[in-house]
Structure 1
Amino acid sequence: MKKLLLLALTAISLSASAQNAATRKLISTKADALQTKIVAWRRDFHEHPELGNREVRTAGIIAAHLKSLGIEVQTGVATTGVVGVLKGAKPGPVVALRADMDGLPVTERVDLPFASKVKTQYNGNEVGVMHACGHDSHMAILMAVAEILSGIKNDLHGTVKFIFQPAEEGAPFGEAGGAEQMVKEGVMENPHVDVVFGLHINSQTEVGKIVYRTGGIMAGVSDLQIIVKGRSAHGAYPWSSVDPMVVSAQIITGLQSIVSRNVNITENPAVVTIGAITGGTRFNIIAESVKMQGTVRYFTKSDEKMITDNVRRIATKTAEAYGATAEVLLPYSNHYPVTFNDPALTALMLPTLEGTAGKDNVSLRPPVTGAEDFSFYQQKAPGIFFFLGGMPKGSNALIAPSHHTPDFYIDESGFGLGVKALCNLTLEYMAMKK
């Protein structure tokens, strides 16, 4: 009896493997046929970027495309978000796929025929706008996935929810936005999402490669603001003042001890950075106050609490020691949880990624101290977030322009792998859960 059961299970496994191979071949053919369209979509988005919660043109193009495929479309979600629902002909789970839409206030320096020339106002200043993080690539990839899956909806065992999200880089100050707002407005419900997949193009990972991590792959993040208030005086008479510049310098130095002396860096990385400091108006006037802004990054709830508590303690007590005061706002305007890849789901779907890209092209990576609001979706359903290679073959990752810079560059030949990966993750998860 045991032998017969083993033979039956082996036959089922072989049948599933054959079915996966056939499906992957079909998806590969369809994705390759769409390469020209994917590049054209990406270049159009790249030439016409829009900042967070301002993606009006972008959302219109996406919504029109989804509607043309017969997909049920909802617009205006979390200001400019677009959600498409594709119902397969057969019962099964609900799989969500996400792409982000917003550009950054960066002036492009790359010499491309489709380089952005867009200018806009940001924080009261005229700035260039650029897709300097690859969100244009993500949208084009997911549009192709929608075209492929809608073409085989009669064979779909379940429902696919396409989430095109605004303001991943953070909504303008005072506005709600991004994944957090999408979740608040019910994007993970009606129908309820069972699993969510997402990718991020990477300018320092070679084309044709996929990198992933089980558990925390990207850091949780909170921004911070510290306002130090002292007493102003003539610069020639510092003894009449309580100098907030000196106090701020001591606070910044003290904050560096948190990571070096309080975080167990053998287990998880962490970051405490002061990125901006402003105060004073003239060389011979001691300012009354100084404002600092920065970011903290962490990978566990306990580290988040410890770092937050220590930032508050060091800032307020250091200021008190000098006769000043310090007001700490942490978080100040945004807070993203850790982007956490569900271990069981990652183990289940890793063969799909390896079967799509080739086992030698899929590898583990260390945790990334950058942050992603994809984490808000993962709080509602198990999810996997992975990185897709976008660096030209043979390039040096150490000197390739990084994300969020004017020289950011992506090799478009890697887009097809992203399309294949998202399609195969969707179809093979459905096949296992139907």
Structure 2
Amino acid sequence: MKSILFLLLIVGSFTATGQVNEKVQTKVLAQAQQLEGKVIEWRRHIHQYPELSNREFKTGAYVEKHLRALGLEVQTGIAHTGVVGLLKTGKPGPVIALRADMDALPVTERNNLPFASKETTTFNGQETGVMHACGHDSHVAILMGVAEILVKNKTSLRGTIKFIFQPAEEGPPAGEKGGAPLMVEEGVLENPKVDVIFGLHIQGIRKLGQIAFKPNGMMASSDWFTIKVTGKQAHGAAPWLGVDPIVVSAQIINGLQTIISRQTQLTKEPAVISVGMINAGIRQNIIPETAEMSGTIRTFDPAMQKEIHEKIKRTATLIAESAGAKAEVEIINKTPVTFNDAVVTEKVASSLVKAVGEQNVVRISPDTGAEDFAFFQQKVPGFFFFVGACPPEVDPAKAPSHHTPDFMMDERGMLPGLKAMLMVTLDYMHQP
């Protein structure tokens, strides 16, 4: 109920503002409907020929050809394979960036789609298939459609629009830089300087056509940690002659969970610490000298993130010292919080309602997944949202997860995403 009232209040507050003419909005939404078939065709082509992070050469060329045909200024080779199109309206207004990620995953597709991927590669020394198992193919197709429609309506627009087609959202190969951080480093948010950025993500596990968002921390920061425990090696029959790093590690793992359950204000935002790997020992009757564990930390608030990092170091170090061992803690910040600027969110939430109807827009709880769109949001205000694409005959709770061979999305979910991105863009550029 609160969610509906929140949206209604926002819709009401926009009636007196300088938004784009309703006739233009109606026209644009109709054009999106007409373009749906072409957007699906683009998605199927990209799906059939997926490419891994920092290797999106064919995908980038496909996008470049489309943007040049639209008459846009085009830059290529940003962050290795990234493509940026620039639409200048010639009228004063904000610089709005719209982003789509292009990379696929080292996953072997397992379905009977006529356009299923047959691509293979070697990844981390193993032969594997390549698949768009996270919906990035649909993101590219949607943004291609947004570009085409906005170009058609250039005379009704204000400001400048940057169409950012980003490589390596899933992370660059070992030893390489890439993704949103490298695009930012190479100046994608400059010349002209971006005022706001919008992005979306298809979800095959969300009701078809439903659009979901959350102000502030929407998706988690993703940090990796490694804790190396050094004890004293001994015979398994006489553990008192050594310091057992395996027992110490077990105590540390339990201690890490109390950071979440007893030391973190979970009524503010959720948080997760998970140990995903632990390695120690070489033989059953030898207490080893060292043990090592690695895991992930998920948080939604930068201050909480910093506090949890400090508590992990303190907990591991002091537990080890209490047993006569030593703990070395390394924490790597991988992806920051996907943080939806509250002011921007308030401005565009009603745009989502225009696109798909009030009944299809929901305000959600935080999502513990991570998204490197967050690196753009660290530099400029941004808004990120989900678009549901679970087939109606499938229970979303039982739908194949993203990043799996059976991942499936209903292509009818792309039209709501196309409409939403168009409405968000049009409304924002015409804000007073």
TM-score (norm 2): 0.91
CA distances 1:10-32 after superposition (whole Å, capped 9, x unpaired)? 9x957967x54322321222222
Letter in 1 for 2:134: C
Letter in 2 for 1:116: S
Specify the alignment match of 1:398 in structure 2. Answer: 397
Are 2:51 and 1:50 aligned? Answer: yes
Specify the alignment match of 1:324 in structure 2. Answer: 325
Residues 104 and 246 of structure 1: CA distance in aligned 2, closer, same or farther (over 3 Å): farther
On the 8 A contact 2:97/2:194 being kept in 1, the answer is yes
Query: Aligned with 1:90: secondary structure?
Result: coil
Specify the alignment match of 1:378 in structure 2. Answer: 377
Specify the alignment match of 1:7 in structure 2. Answer: none
Deviation at 1:282, TM superposition (A): 4.3
The aligned runs of 1:178-257 (5 Å cut-off) are 178-233=179-234, 235=236, 238-257=239-258
Name stretches of at least 5 consecutive residues in structure 1 with no aligned partner.
1-9
Using the TM superposition, name which of 355-364 and 168-177 deviates more.
168-177
Query: Aligned with 2:275: secondary structure?
Result: strand
Query: Aligned with 2:193: secondary structure?
Result: coil
Q: CA RMSD in A?
A: 2.3
Query: Aligned with 1:221: secondary structure?
Result: strand
Letter in 2 for 1:87: K
Using the TM superposition, name which of 37-46 and 133-142 deviates more.
37-46
Partners of 1:397 and 1:368 in 2: CA distance: 15
Residues 151 and 406 of structure 1: CA distance in aligned 2, closer, same or farther (over 3 Å): same
Partners of 1:140 and 1:219 in 2: CA distance: 26
Query: Aligned with 2:159: secondary structure?
Result: strand
Are 2:421 and 1:422 aligned? Answer: yes
Residues 392 and 313 of structure 1: CA distance in aligned 2, closer, same or farther (over 3 Å): same
Name stretches of at least 5 consecutive residues in structure 2 with no aligned partner.
1-11
On the 8 A contact 1:24/1:356 being kept in 2, the answer is no
CA distances 1:88-135 after superposition (whole Å, capped 9, x unpaired)? 132321110001112223332333222233332333333332222111
Partners of 1:375 and 1:413 in 2: CA distance: 27
Letter in 1 for 2:321: E
Residues 221 and 257 of structure 1: CA distance in aligned 2, closer, same or farther (over 3 Å): same
Deviation at 1:150, TM superposition (A): 1.8
Residues 150 and 256 of structure 1: CA distance in aligned 2, closer, same or farther (over 3 Å): same
TM-score (norm 1): 0.90
Partners of 1:282 and 1:54 in 2: CA distance: 42
Specify the alignment match of 1:337 in structure 2. Answer: 336
Partners of 2:337 and 2:225 in 1: CA distance: 17
On the 8 A contact 1:201/1:387 being kept in 2, the answer is yes
Query: Aligned with 2:249: secondary structure?
Result: helix
Partners of 2:16 and 2:250 in 1: CA distance: 65
Specify the alignment match of 2:363 in structure 1. Answer: 364
On the 8 A contact 2:18/2:431 being kept in 1, the answer is no
Deviation at 1:268, TM superposition (A): 0.7
The aligned runs of 1:6-85 (5 Å cut-off) are 13=15, 20-85=21-86
Partners of 1:289 and 1:45 in 2: CA distance: 47
Residues 272 and 386 of structure 1: CA distance in aligned 2, closer, same or farther (over 3 Å): same
On the 8 A contact 1:101/1:136 being kept in 2, the answer is yes
Letter in 2 for 1:277: I
On the 8 A contact 2:24/2:156 being kept in 1, the answer is no
CA distances 1:10-57 after superposition (whole Å, capped 9, x unpaired)? 9x957967x543223212222222222212221222222222222222
Partners of 1:60 and 1:300 in 2: CA distance: 38
On the 8 A contact 2:354/2:423 being kept in 1, the answer is no
Partners of 1:385 and 1:257 in 2: CA distance: 32
- Equivalenced residues, count: 420
Specify the alignment match of 1:146 in structure 2. Answer: 147
CA distances 1:166-208 after superposition (whole Å, capped 9, x unpaired)? 1212222332221122111111110011111111111121112
The aligned runs of 1:293-304 (5 Å cut-off) are 293-304=294-305
Partners of 1:289 and 1:106 in 2: CA distance: 34
Partners of 1:175 and 1:395 in 2: CA distance: 39
On the 8 A contact 1:20/1:428 being kept in 2, the answer is no
Partners of 2:85 and 2:391 in 1: CA distance: 32
Residues 302 and 248 of structure 1: CA distance in aligned 2, closer, same or farther (over 3 Å): same
Partners of 1:148 and 1:115 in 2: CA distance: 28
Residues 130 and 237 of structure 1: CA distance in aligned 2, closer, same or farther (over 3 Å): farther
Using the TM superposition, name which of 252-261 and 311-320 deviates more.
311-320
- The percent of aligned pairs where both chains have the same amino acid is 53
Specify the alignment match of 2:161 in structure 1. Answer: 160
Partners of 1:242 and 1:301 in 2: CA distance: 37
Deviation at 1:86, TM superposition (A): 1.1
Letter in 2 for 1:413: R
